[in-house]
Amino acid sequence: MKIAFVHYHLKTGGVAAVLKRQVKALGDACDLVVLTGDRANAKLPCAVEEIPGLGYDQPGRSAPPPERVAEQVRQALQRKWPEGCDILHIHNPLLAKNRGFLRIIRRLQQFGITLFLQIHDFAEDGRPQAYFDESYPKDCHYGVINRRDETILRVAGLDDSGLHYLPNAVEAMPVDASRLPGAQILYPVRAIRRKNPGEAILLSLFFEADQRLAITQPPNSPDDIASYRDWVAWSGANDLPVDFEIGKKMPFAAIVAASQSMITTSVSEGFGMAFLEPWTAGKPLWGRRLPDICCDYEDSGVNLNALYDRIDVPLDWIDRDVFSHRWHKAVRRAADRYGLAIPEATVAKAFEGLNGKTTIDFGLLDEALQRQILARLIASPAAKKELIRTNPRLSETSQAAAAQRVIQTNRKTVLDRYGMDRYRERLLRIYDRVVNQPVRHCIDKKILLRSFFKPENFTLLKWAAYAGS
């Protein structure tokens, strides 16, 4: 089978890593080429062709006409396979990182090229700055990486015959067997806002005396860097047991090996590799569970009982008026950027659900409000005890003592259910359906947007950043 992959870039990152694992998984089962807007310095065991018009829009630089870019793609495919390819597998096409991308896709469809569009992220899910006003491609096959997105797209109009569940492949984490684990608790993440580093710092306040939190990498995007620098400075000023950017100081395998356990405190994920990879390194995982993502893994047999769904903090620990102002402002700005009209009663009811109780989830707050809570915990042992009464899991922060049986069982389950062999089987089975089963369906964008835009789940860490709050 002749497969061409398309992605905006091959820089180090989540989607590019998925594409590279797909190339590796397919091995000699398919004839492959990768078309990209920026090949960076990526080395792949297949042909790679750079077509700049497929890349991200560049400020101050006019983009080439979409029709010209589509023609360049067609010519690249013809050079590789004069008789044509079987499938053009396009990654993340519904994010307007390239404003001409949907028109490029429509032109490729006019050429008669069979498309498989794999969705990793939705602009409707907290990314209004990347939202297309245009309709999404119709009458082609779509792939999703979790069951939540599969359900949402089915409700939004896609037929099961052209909608495919393809969870990401997991490879065992590299481990330096020469190192013994120390007292380090590892958050292996690029610390962007939605990864909720403030909550990881909160957990560090409940560590045992010799334990330290280690965060591997800083953010890349300007939207996240300012917040990250504030956390670095604030942690230093309060002499907290937190080490930043350790990924720049030693090899990743050595960092993992030196860790007692791993955590995740993210408030939003598309796939959530952090819930699976630690077990492959023989490390226990604890932290925040994301129910709509983790249910996939738990259904597969992965034990995530050590995770919590929320951290409830007393509402009177924060300035409620400040929270109300910021929350309402973020909701309104985000809705405006989507062109979405929300009745005031709906917004009021959602806020009442958040603010009408005695506690609020720490993950719903922005960084300034989170620091109000952390400052109270640092200053008051009584406050720490009160938080433990509400959240008993905080007294179990030494999760490194998790049963070895759970670790080994999870490791086997993860590699069996999400390993490269299973991934290859899934991908080839999907490709067979894409080639042999034409589909006629389309996405109702209004239904899709309302599936994601739910004020009752509105977290300032995720939405305020993109709403301009």
| Same domain as 437, residue 398 | no
| Residue 433, in any domain of the structure | yes
Q: What is the pLDDT of residue 468?
A: 55
| 48-65 average pLDDT score | 94
| Same domain as 393, residue 252 | yes
Could you tell me the pLDDT band of residue 68, with boundaries at 50, 70 and 90?
very high
| Same domain as 295, residue 276 | yes
| Same domain as 158, residue 241 | no
pLDDT mean across residues, the chain = 93
| Residue 215, in any domain of the structure | yes
- Decide if 166 contacts 427 (C-beta within 8 A): yes
- Angle at CA 125, nearest 5°, toward 350 and 438? 130
Q: What are phi and psi of 212, to 5 degrees?
A: -135, 145
Nearest to 2 by CA among 85, 116, 84: 85
Q: What is the amino acid identity at position 293? A: I
Q: What is the pLDDT of residue 400?
A: 47
Taking the C-alpha atoms of residue 241 and residue 202, their distance in angstroms, rounded to an integer, is 11
**What are the tokens at 184?**
């380090």
| Residue 226, in any domain of the structure | yes
Sign of torsion over alpha carbons 426, 432, 434, 438: negative
| Residue 199, in any domain of the structure | yes
| Residue 450 Cα distances to 126, 293, 459, angstroms | 12, 19, 16
Q: Residue 25's domain is classified under what CATH number?
A: 3.40.50.2000
| Same domain as 197, residue 150 | no
pLDDT in tens, 404-432: 889 999 999 999 999 999 999 999 999 99
Q: What is the pLDDT of residue 174?
A: 78
Report the relative pairing of strands 163-165 and 87-91 from DSSP bridges.
unpaired
Highest mean pLDDT among 39-43, 71-75, 217-221, 335-339: 71-75
**What are the tokens at 364?**
């719903």
Sheet strands side by side (includes 212-217): 242-244, 212-217, 184-190, 259-264, 285-288, 307-308
The secondary element (H helix, E strand) that includes residue 255 is: helix 252-257
Tally the domains of the chain. 2
| Residue 319, in any domain of the structure | no
Taking the C-alpha atoms of residue 446 and residue 166, their distance in angstroms, rounded to an integer, is 25
| Same domain as 47, residue 162 | yes
| Residue 359, in any domain of the structure | no
Range of lowest pLDDT (69-78, 100-109, 452-461): 452-461
Sign of torsion over alpha carbons 356, 358, 363, 367: positive
**What are the tokens at 262?**
């791993």
The label of the residue with tokens 């052209």 reads 162
| Same domain as 233, residue 200 | yes
Nearest to 64 by CA among 109, 101, 35: 101
**pLDDT at 469 > cutoff 50:** no
| Residue 17, Cβ density class (10 Å: 0-12 exposed, 13-18 middle, ≥19 buried) | middle
Count the residues in the chain: 469
pLDDT in tens, 284-304: 999 999 999 999 999 999 999
Q: Mapping DSSP to helix (H, G, I), strand (E, B) and coil, where does residue 425 land?
A: helix
Could you tell me the pLDDT band of residue 466, with boundaries at 50, 70 and 90?
low
Q: Mapping DSSP to helix (H, G, I), strand (E, B) and coil, where does residue 305 land?
A: coil
Taking the C-alpha atoms of residue 98 and residue 132, their distance in angstroms, rounded to an integer, is 10
- Decide if 210 contacts 185 (C-beta within 8 A): no
- Decide if 54 contacts 69 (C-beta within 8 A): yes
Q: What is the amino acid identity at position 432? A: D
| Same domain as 212, residue 149 | no
| Residue 354, in any domain of the structure | no
Rg (CA), the chain: 23
- Decide if 32 contacts 47 (C-beta within 8 A): yes
**pLDDT at 462 > cutoff 90:** no
Q: How many CB atoms are located within 10 Å of the residue 396 CB? A: 15
**What are the tokens at 209?**
């005396």
Q: Mapping DSSP to helix (H, G, I), strand (E, B) and coil, where does residue 257 land?
A: helix
| Same domain as 188, residue 142 | no
> Residues with Cβ < 8 Å from 107, sequence gap 6 or more?
66, 67, 70, 71
Taking the C-alpha atoms of residue 303 and residue 412, their distance in angstroms, rounded to an integer, is 11
| Residue 238, Cβ density class (10 Å: 0-12 exposed, 13-18 middle, ≥19 buried) | middle
Most distant pair of Cα atoms in the chain: their distance: 73
Taking the C-alpha atoms of residue 389 and residue 384, their distance in angstroms, rounded to an integer, is 9
Taking the C-alpha atoms of residue 128 and residue 123, their distance in angstroms, rounded to an integer, is 6
Q: What is the pLDDT of residue 137?
A: 98
pLDDT in tens, 246-290: 999 988 889 999 999 999 999 999 999 999 999 999 999 999 999
Nearest to 414 by CA among 170, 165, 168, 188: 170
| Same domain as 66, residue 89 | yes
| Residue 353, in any domain of the structure | no
Domain span at 109: 2-120+137-169+419-442
The secondary element (H helix, E strand) that includes residue 50 is: strand 47-50
pLDDT in tens, 107-164: 999 999 999 999 999 999 989 989 999 999 999 999 999 999 999 999 999 999 999 9
Buried/exposed code over 94-124 (b: 16+ C-beta within 10 A; e: otherwise): bbbbbebbbbbbbbbbeeebbbbbbbbbbbb
| Same domain as 214, residue 96 | no
| Same domain as 383, residue 287 | yes
- Decide if 224 contacts 402 (C-beta within 8 A): no
